[in-house]
Chains A and B, each alone.
Chain A
């Protein structure tokens, strides 16, 4: 699965970058998005859900970042 690394990217740039990356994919494709703890992991998932993408899971990495699994929604 592709991983979009958005560590160190602040809100709302991280969301916009995730959105642009998802635009390159087909509906139903899955990606992992690597996010910082804090604002990023609170805001980005909710915004992606609002855009019609499907959130599948969240897991914390050993380094304390978060991997969000997303399935691209309808265009």
Chain B
């Protein structure tokens, strides 16, 4: 461990992707840890606790994007912290104009509401796109496993929300009525023949009918992600709008890569500007057309630009 006053030797490569954030105090930094999808293996948790106790302050901060942040780390200890965390395969996260660590809900392995494996998606994105410099601004991704959307997908640059399109096998239906009773949006009612009647329009693709159906008469016709793009929070928030429905889970990484490529091209020369503002400038049709080339089955026919929250303070630089 380097002593205060000793000339620090720091591997600047560790700092490349960010994740080391200056604090108020002299020499002190917060180190943001890379925890894709908020899943923390217990051996890693133990190692983090040891490192925090040795080099950090009296607590760890749980960030709003599922990271653990070591606080009050003296910059002289960067290398030691990185090395010791590395013993348990714990890496440092990113900050700045890069693809950030993806957020995700618990997914579908143990959560009864989950329709898709958001944890798997978050890990894939983290492995393939983490830290990619955007050249402009931060780039956030979130995965929600169902329409409850706990991760608030529409407040991300690209937000995924699990969905299930149901299909009924009338012959297997025993007319119990549980599906109609369970259908919160009222898309299913019981018909005169005592069989369920399905109306596509109010259906939110939550899959509750499939989950409650005693005989498997309701089954998944298709599952995947509904994708909203262009959301952000912070100063001048925007709610992302719908660009794709039922995108196959295995296409999520490539989808993000395509959005990122479009953003990088269109934002050229404009400096620090978020994706949502670029979509407002260019119009959503251009991005729809770009995405339709690779994802013709999932991209919607039309959409609207990201939506401005009208109660914000200060007028927007980029007007819708």
Contacts and interface: CB of A to CB of B under 8 A. Distances in A.
Interface of A: 41-42, 45-47, 49-50, 54-59, 66
A75 B50 CA distance: 44
A58 B208 CA distance: 16
Given A46-B212, A49-B212, A49-B214, A58 B181 contact: yes
B113 to A, nearest CB: 10
Interface of B: 112, 174-178, 181-182, 184, 208, 211-212, 214
A50 B114 CA distance: 14
A57 B176 contact: yes
Given A50-B112, A54-B214, A55-B214, A45 B178 contact: yes
Given A42-B182, A50-B112, A58 B174 contact: no
Contacts of A58: 176-178, 181
30 contacts: A41-B181, A42-B181, A42-B184, A42-B212, A45-B178, A45-B182, A45-B212, A46-B182, A46-B211, A46-B212, A47-B112, A49-B211, A49-B212, A49-B214, A54-B214, A55-B176, A55-B178, A55-B212, A55-B214, A56-B174, A56-B176, A56-B214, A57-B174, A57-B175, A57-B177, A58-B176, A58-B178, A58-B181, A59-B177, A66-B181
